[in-house]
Amino acid sequence: MLSFVLPRISRNAATKHIRSLTNASHSVQSTPRSAIVTGAGRGIGRAIALRLAQDGFDVCVNDLDKNVEDVNNVVKEIQSLGRSGVAFCGDVSSMASVQEMIAASVAGLGPLNVMVANAGIAKVSWPMDVTEEDMREMFEVNVYGVVNSNIAAAQQFIKQGTKGKILNAASGVSFRADALLPMYSASKSAVRSLTQSFAIELGRKGITVNGYAPGIVQSAMWKHIDTELGKINGLPQGENFNSFTKNIALRRTSIPEDAAKLVSYLAGPDSDYVTGQTILVDGGLVFN
């Protein structure tokens, strides 16, 4: 197994640095495919990256600098599956950083086939207590990050002269907790609209754009949400999370692999005629 570090491709001294690990001894397949997964150091993003590797994709794993150890561990897991992996630490709210990420992925893994705009953050508060700073941060990551990823990926597909698939993380959560997640819900609703708009614009280029909308997921993000809700309503750790289960038709909360299975379908050839859709994967919490 051979690992190496890609040279930094810098547009701006303030953009995040690149750390990469590439496995050169992956199994041979007739048509190599590569994917980028943002926010993939843990949780749903990690599960998606590993599932795509199992599906035969070489994967660029993205997350913030502070999560570099998680990112490198995911790359190693990808390598253990016999695929190639590139680690990129950078902030998706910066277009320059996203462009660097795509350049690093293409340099290490070859032409891009799938972009998964998974990175997101959540903040809990009453609607009237939302601060301007919280609102700005939420939209910079959850909305601008998706826009940057969609635009830069589409530009890469067009440059390559290939079709491609773009997948955006939306949210299927629409229940009483929305009152305590106003900006999160608003930002994820924006992702649904953006997914439709990009699907219309890029369809003529043969590029599909779809969304996947997880519900209540056993992940670090929902642990954070549970804790913050507890500070407001006084319920002990875990009780807010558990209380949602009775509203789910399948009577269990989700695990990251549930969302990864849907992304696997949307990233594969069986979904070639699906575009502009945001599909719920929440066990029957919300019905469209």
Residues with active-site annotation: 184
Instruction: Using alpha carbons, list the distances in angstroms from residue 35 to 83, 116, 144, 178, 226.
Output: 12, 7, 20, 32, 31
What is the enclosing helix (H) or strand (E) of 164? strand 164-169
Q: What is the amino acid identity at position 182? A: P
Q: Which residue, 165, 200, 140, 161, is CA-closest to 37?
A: 165
Phi first, then psi: give them for residue 87, nearest 5 degrees.
-100, 130
DSSP of 128-153, one letter per residue?
GG--HHHHHHHHIIIIIHHHHHHHHH
Instruction: Using alpha carbons, list the distances in angstroms from residue 288 to 192, 208, 211.
Output: 13, 21, 14
**Residue count (the chain):** 288
C-alpha span between 137 and 119 (Å, rounded): 13
> Which tokens belong to 78?
């990808």
What is the enclosing helix (H) or strand (E) of 188? helix 182-202
Q: Where do the H-state alpha helices sit in 65-178?
A: 68-80, 95-109, 132-139, 145-160
* Sign of the CA dihedral running 249, 38, 218, 77: positive
